[in-house]
Amino acid sequence: MHALSKQVLEKEPRAVARVLRLIDDRTPPFSDILRDLFPHTGKAYVVGVTGNPGAGKSTLSDRLIEVYRKQGKTVGVIAVDPTSPFSGGAILGDRIRMQRHAEDPGVFIRSVATRGHLGGLSRSARDMVRVLDAYGADVVLVETVGVGQDELEITRTAHSTLVVVAPGMGDEVQAIKAGILECADVFAVNKADREGVDGTVRDLELMIALGSEAMVAAGKRRGHVVHGGASAGASAGAGAGAGASAGWTPPILRCVSTRGEGIAAIVEGLERHKAWLEGSEAGRARRRARLAEEVRDGLREALVEAAVHELGPRIEEAVRKVDAREVDPYTATEELVAAFRAGQVKPS
């Protein structure tokens, strides 16, 4: 066992920080450490926290930490910032709100910036969650900045996803609704003392109702596509319904994070979702599906990494040939795959 792995298991916070940095940079011996730690994982409850910027995710996370700490639970936080250089400042400001827990040894907070590609980010988040799990965190919060497709993917590393919405930000429910039903397990309507909160709650209720219908309709349309010949107009919609339509309807819970109101009910809503995941066939199926997804994602990334590493100069050569129209890109790709499989190339 690697010395760092041992230190993580001995609850040495500086070792955790170092391991998370290694994972962020994909620097050896990060994978050896992950292997060491894996048998010690599986105990933490992982909550994804997502929602539009300005909805109050950080303040709510801060309050969640407070409630969990009062329950005697240790908490880890991974804050994922898929930022462009433009917005860096504002988001670092957000993070600071949670820093009052920085002195508490039962809380471990870590910010991670996006590095390169998306798949890499959700993989890193998943690995970092495992480290905090092995370190002994009872709860791990994975907080993302927005609710784009990218962030939705990161929340798939969580057991439960909390979507934070606030009234008075215009069309926020409209703006987030694409994909949200597949991802939300609990809705927190934050800033519930503001005007417009009833409208926001109604919008969410309507969205859940319409969403289920729309998904049924999409299913029918898909059916039509299969039997009646492909139609470019038909929407995919596959994979939808992890929430409402599969036996779990996301509760809509009001809170005022700045005053700490309604937070206990959110923790309770999450606990109910956790119980559903563990106790129902649908919940267990979802857990297995996510694990399968991880193995497939890992396979994809490992293959590509190995191929790019080993094929390096051959890829450049293929690009030159395609550019010169000596070969088409489809044939070029096939030849690269064949070379990789046949091991005609040596690691450089």
Kindly identify the residues of this chain, within the stretch 229-268, that bind a second copy according to CB under 8 A.
230, 232-238, 240
Least separation, in Å, of the C-beta of 334 and a second copy? 7
**275 touching a second copy, by CB under 8 A:** no
**316 touching a second copy, by CB under 8 A:** yes
Decide whether 113 or 265 has the Cβ nearer to a second copy: 113
Residues 6 or more apart whose Cβ sits within 8 Å of residue 230: none
For residue 247 the two structure tokens come to 């036996």
**211 touching a second copy, by CB under 8 A:** yes
The CA distance from 35 to 206, in Å, is 45
**34 touching a second copy, by CB under 8 A:** yes
Of the candidate spans 27-35, 158-166, 246-254, 260-268, the one that interacts with a second copy by CB under 8 A turns out to be: 27-35
Q: What does the H/E/C string look like for 177-237? A: CCCHHHHCCEEEECCCCCCCHHHHHHHHHHHHHHHHHHHHHHHHHHHHHHHHCCCCCCCCC
Buried b (16+ CB within 10 A) or exposed e, 202-213: ebbeebbeebbe
Across the beta sheet with 107-113, the strand order is 107-113, 75-81, 139-144, 45-51, 160-165, 186-189, 252-254
Least separation, in Å, of the C-beta of 235 and a second copy? 5
**118 touching a second copy, by CB under 8 A:** yes
**178 touching a second copy, by CB under 8 A:** yes
Q: Which of 43, 100, 202, 296 binds a second copy (CB under 8 A)?
A: 296
Least separation, in Å, of the C-beta of 10 and a second copy? 20
**42 touching a second copy, by CB under 8 A:** yes
For residue 130, the surrounding DSSP H or E stretch is helix 118-135
Q: Which of 3, 38, 199, 205 binds a second copy (CB under 8 A)?
A: 38
**93 touching a second copy, by CB under 8 A:** no
